[in-house]
Amino acid sequence: MFLAKVITPVVCSVIHPAFSGKPLFLIERIEPDGSGEAEGDYHLAVDYVGAGPGDTVIAGGPPGLGESLGLPRAPISTWVMAIAERAEKST
């Protein structure tokens, strides 16, 4: 799992059936220390929580992701799991 900022929606003319009705976003990993500083690491993510451009989200892609979503043959490597309201560094 990692924190990321939603950059923009991605539009595709042909899409895998597993993504039907699910938004795709370009997301950028950000520092988890609460600064929100971008790391320059981009991912294409499937959104399952209703995020939008500018939102800070929790994203990830553990092994077996397709199976956990009930889509065992889906080509999903990263998905948006939650919208983060805030992030701060703990001491």
User: Does residue 59 register a pLDDT over 70?
Assistant: yes
Listed by start position, the domains of the chain span 2-83
Task: Tell me what the mean pLDDT of segment 15-33 comes to.
Answer: 85
CA distance 69 to 3: 20
Tell the CATH topology of 2-83: OB fold (Dihydrolipoamide Acetyltransferase, E2P) (2.40.50)
Q: Residue 75 is encoded by which pair of tokens? A: 């080509």
User: Measured between alpha carbons, how far is residue 51 from residues 14, 18, 56 in Å?
Assistant: 22, 18, 8
In 28-52, which positions are buried (b, 16+ CB within 10 angstroms) versus exposed (e)? Answer: ebbebeeeeeeeeeebebbbeeebe
pLDDT of 7 higher than 90 = yes
Cβ-based neighbour number of residue 83 at 10 Å: 15
pTM value is 0.80
